[in-house]
Chain A
Amino acid sequence: MERLNTILIGIADAVLWCRDAVVSLAVMVGHALDAIAEPVLSPLVAFVNPILTSIVDGVFAALAPLPVWCGLTLFSVLAGLLSLGVFRLCSNQVAISRALDDIKANLLALKLYKDELRVTFRCQYRIAGAIARLQWHMFRPVAVMLLPMLPLLGQLGVRYQWRPLHPGEQTQIDMIVDESAEGQGLGGLQVTLEADPAVTVETPAVPGDGKLVWRIHADRTGRHVLKFHVGDAIVEKELVVSDGFARVSPTRAKTDWTTQLLQPVEPALPETGSVRSIHIDYPSVDSWVYGSDYWIVHLFVVSMLVALVFRPIFGVRF
């Protein structure tokens, strides 16, 4: 029995090791692709972000009288319909249908010929093959779908993942500086946060772990701009203080197209400056329907339901 357990644990460890290896490989490939895509995508994202933000702002302004979840639901519905459109245009429906039919046929065969072990194993083998084919044929539409979905996720994230500071609330601001500046010693770099009537700076910049940390206290509602003096340069960061629903921008960073996609509100920090990123620790949104992380579930479930309902109309299978 102990020997069996050892074998089972070994198998489990091997599975986990394989998973880690796959993830590591994916990360490596991702970095390599990033390096190639960065020069092209960064300017493109920088161009698209303000336009998209304005459009989404307009939509949310129009939906302002409605409950907060309505905007999320609307965009979830649009995401579902968009996905169907992409599938219709980009997928090999014949091959996908064939793979789905093979899966269903072999699942039915498992039921019909359940007494035949030989048939059971053969069906499992065929199901595995059909699943592999299905995943292969899904790759193209799913890859195409990334293009509209990532900016949309960015836009929804800055509205539903975090909420603005309420007047009277405290939070922390982190500034990460480049390694070159860090190498010179943070103490040598003059960094100050300019006084603003909207906030009270409770602690001065505290250095540590390659970053500077401030604690602030929100005093006045509104969309404010904090100014950081870094040596001779001034770096700005938006701060939102509000009692209601509003988009926020937790992070402003140097050019990196993926960060830019997911933090689309503010322009990237100048490439030549010493500051790599500034992060405001906004509180999470507290709601089971549209709050932090739950909004992704909401988006996913609603868009899937919409896709399911409208699938026959679009004439697609997946």
Chain B
Amino acid sequence: MTESDDITIARRHRAVAGPRLLLAIAFVVLTLPTDAQAYIGPGAGFAVGTTLFAFFVAFFSGLAAIFLWPFRWMVRAIRGRRALAKARVERVVILGLDGMEPSLAERFMAEGKLPNLSRLARQGCYKKLGTTLPPLSPVAWSTFSTGCNPGKHNIFDFLTRDKRSYMPVLSSVKITGATRSVKIGPYRIPLGKPDIRMLRRGKPFWNVLGEHGIFSNIIRVPITFPPEPFRGTLLSAMCVPDLRGTQGTFTFYTTRSETDDDLISGETIRVKRDGPVIRSNLIGPDNSISEKPGPMTCAFHMTLGANGSATLKVSGDTHELTEGTYSPWVRVAFKAAPGIKVRGICQFLLLRKHPEVELYVTPIQIDPDSPAMPIAHPSVFSTYLSKSRGLYATLGLAEDTWALNAKLLGDDDFLHQCNQADDEREDMFFDGLEKVKRGLCVCVFDGMDRIQHMFWRYMDADHPAHDGQATTQRRDAIETLYRNMDVLVGKTMRECDDDSVLMVISDHGFNTFRRGVDLNRWLEKNGYLTLKPGGHGKKYLAGVDWSRTKAYAIGLAGIWLNIKGRESQGVVDPSEAAALRQELAEQLTGLRDDEKDCLAVSKAYNAHATYRGPYRQESPDIIVGYNNGYRISWEAAIGQPTEQVFHDNNKAWSGDHCIDPKLVPGVLFCSRKIKDERPRLMDLGATVLDLFGVAVPPNMDGRPLAVADAGAPEPAAAISESSTQAVVTS
């Protein structure tokens, strides 16, 4: 053999080495399972199939990630968007505790009950955080995410009114079915998807970060439904509907003949007992593809057993129920047409078996595994969370305050819902912290808001719904909640290194809600609203004589004028509107509750003079800033005029924050020193952009706070005197 032959052989040897390796690996992987597949059958086949698929995807995605990473980096660098190039931090973590009240936090810190928050305040800072007008979660979190005043983001309340019908409608999202369809037999198949449109305007600051290549993980920040595309992952929250398209409709099944049928956000279904068996249907969404109108149903039957147990069969699965204990999340399917099912999840709670059977079913929520509506970005993110951590609540307002208000659920049942939702979220939050080491992580915990709403009466001895017989557990429910959140903060602090900035914030504070103000009655009494004969007690403003009404109230925030050309039956000339606003604001400011000899309204704000931006005209004309202990009455919120202005609030919903924003600032704890003495919620987005070295867009109202760099000297005092002044952001 000549030398040239040797060289040729060596070259061939080199040429085949790579393919040989790949072939060898492929051979090993493919040949080993073949015998098993053939001789053991389909089960093994699927096992091997799953294995092979997972193996190949994992292997090749790993390879792709390694080989593509430099190219991605180069592309970003060439575009001038190299992530974090000008950043002062690697990561910003924002832990949102909806409704954390500064006075309670300060009290518990002073008593040594919140060691982690105290440590965070010492290490960085603690300040009160200016909230929005009105201080409502959808408004406040929209301001947080866009950095704009409500006049620019168009969210002024949970609800707004339909200008034609005066009916309340959701302010943040509009869902309409597909416009075109084709009829096949008894079915009408929609061509295209339903139109789900977010009504919040403005650009969230994480979208701006994404445009600069910075990744964000956003978990359950209110008013993020439907999710907008951006560079990151997002799970929507407040305003995500249930499967029926409502904001949460629970169902109460009972064998009792006498029940309260007039439930808010709930439905009573009477069932009959057939020996130990109870048969009924879950009520699903309307069948939009059937010619026959009406909701889809899903049959279930429950067999009562001994010792407080029962067996539930639904959607082909069997579940064991125990009296007083929630079932895990149960998958249910509603058949729309052959082969077409709408899937949801719910929990069952067998309240009691004797003397009458009572079964509570949570609102049927969108199944995160196969969502009927988009609830996450990217859409597979909800599936990822479900697969990695199990099923979880997807409804915007997952905690069923209405069932507790109606006294169908007990305090403990409600607390369970809140704690479960927070536990689910904690899992997601820490998963995000593990995955995103460079970028933004935001997670909002709602439990604090819901529990304070429902358990404030146990803290306030003067509350009309105060129960002197309450157990210690209930009296301490809010304190326990703050302690739990403190533990969460401690765990989060352990996950954050020196290159991370941790902020713990609340969108507003909290206060007692003892008395409700019926603004419609006040307007009627003062000649601004006229009712038709017998108009008292009619909901949704059905009793109002529009031809003689200048102003009306619906929703939580304030009063609308009945303006010609704007409202369908308007009577107020647009030229007179400004004067009327001013007149109403002046008359309402300082409104007193003579029965209790208390100031009821601190200040009524002329909204059009307060907000700035293109959507200012969409706001209520007057935003009412109530005094401590007051809020709009339950009746006025749903447009149901009564015969007196002030009402005792006897409901479990006993704490609130829809008052004068100066009275309910939020909190801001930060792991680094912040020099500004009056930070506002709307400043946080701009602050995060600034920390990442991204220019703040000119349309943002918020301005970056002066956050110290890592290693800056600690502040002398954790809680400064000046920080006790609340600030209104609008």
Chain A interfacial positions (CB closer than 8 Å to B)? 1-2, 5, 8-9, 11-12, 15-16, 19, 79-80, 82-83, 86-87, 100-121, 123-124, 127-128, 130-131, 134-135, 138, 141-142, 145-146, 149-150, 153, 296, 300, 303-304, 306-308, 312, 315, 318
- Other A-B pairs beyond A107-B58, A318-B43, 11, CB < 8 Å: A1-B14, A105-B387, A112-B435, A115-B69, A117-B69, A130-B54, A134-B47, A142-B36, A296-B38, A300-B41, A315-B317
B657 smallest CB distance to A (angstroms) = 35
Nearest opposing residue in chain A for B69, CB measure: A117
Instruction: Give every chain B residue within 8 A of A315 (Cβ-Cβ).
Output: 316-317
List residues 358-386 of chain B with CB under 8 A from any CB of chain A.
Answer: 378, 380-381, 383-384
Contacting pair B20 A150 (CB below 8 A): no
Instruction: Give every chain A residue within 8 A of B28 (Cβ-Cβ).
Output: 15-16, 19
Tier of interface size on chain B: 35 or more
Q: Does B10 interact with chain A (Cβ within 8 Å)?
A: yes
Q: Decide yes or no: A2 and B43 within 8 Å by CB, A9-B21, A108-B384, A318-B50 being known contacts.
A: no
List residues 20-42 of chain B with CB under 8 A from any CB of chain A.
Answer: 20-21, 24-25, 27-28, 32, 36-42
Contacting pair A120 B25 (CB below 8 A): no
Q: Looking at the complex, which one of A2, A83, A111 makes contact with B41 (CB distance below 8 Å)?
A: A83
Q: Looking at the complex, which one of A119, A131, A296 makes contact with B55 (CB distance below 8 Å)?
A: A131
Nearest opposing residue in chain A for B384, CB measure: A108
Contacting pair A2 B14 (CB below 8 A): yes
Contacting pair A15 B25 (CB below 8 A): yes
Contacting pair A149 B40 (CB below 8 A): yes
- Cα distance, A146 to B301, chains bound together (Å): 38
Contacting pair B46 A111 (CB below 8 A): no
- Cα distance, A198 to B678, chains bound together (Å): 108
- Cα distance, A107 to B51, chains bound together (Å): 12
- Cα distance, A310 to B20, chains bound together (Å): 41
Contacting pair B50 A134 (CB below 8 A): yes
- Cα distance, A109 to B378, chains bound together (Å): 11
Instruction: Give every chain B residue within 8 A of A15 (Cβ-Cβ).
Output: 24-25, 28
Contacting pair A107 B57 (CB below 8 A): yes
Contacting pair A303 B58 (CB below 8 A): no
Contacting pair B21 A111 (CB below 8 A): no
- Cα distance, A101 to B18, chains bound together (Å): 34
Greatest chain B CB density within 10 A among A109, A141, A153 is at A109
A113 smallest CB distance to B (angstroms) = 5
Chain B interfacial positions (CB closer than 8 Å to A)? 10, 13-14, 17-18, 20-21, 24-25, 27-28, 32, 36-47, 50-51, 54-55, 57-59, 61-62, 64-66, 69, 72, 215, 233, 316-317, 378, 380-381, 383-384, 387-388, 435-437
- Cα distance, A80 to B39, chains bound together (Å): 13
Instruction: Give every chain A residue within 8 A of B40 (Cβ-Cβ).
Output: 142, 145-146, 149
Instruction: Give every chain B residue within 8 A of A153 (Cβ-Cβ).
Output: 39
B579 smallest CB distance to A (angstroms) = 55
Contacting pair A12 B42 (CB below 8 A): no
Greatest chain B CB density within 10 A among A8, A104, A153 is at A104
A26 smallest CB distance to B (angstroms) = 10
Q: Decide yes or no: A127 and B383 within 8 Å by CB, A15-B28, A109-B388 being known contacts.
A: no
25 CB < 8 A contacts A-B: A1-B14, A12-B24, A83-B42, A105-B388, A107-B54, A107-B58, A108-B384, A110-B62, A110-B65, A111-B378, A114-B65, A116-B437, A117-B65, A124-B59, A124-B62, A127-B54, A131-B54, A131-B55, A134-B50, A138-B43, A142-B43, A145-B44, A300-B42, A303-B41, A307-B46
Contacting pair B384 A109 (CB below 8 A): yes
Instruction: Give every chain B residue within 8 A of A111 (Cβ-Cβ).
Output: 61, 378, 380
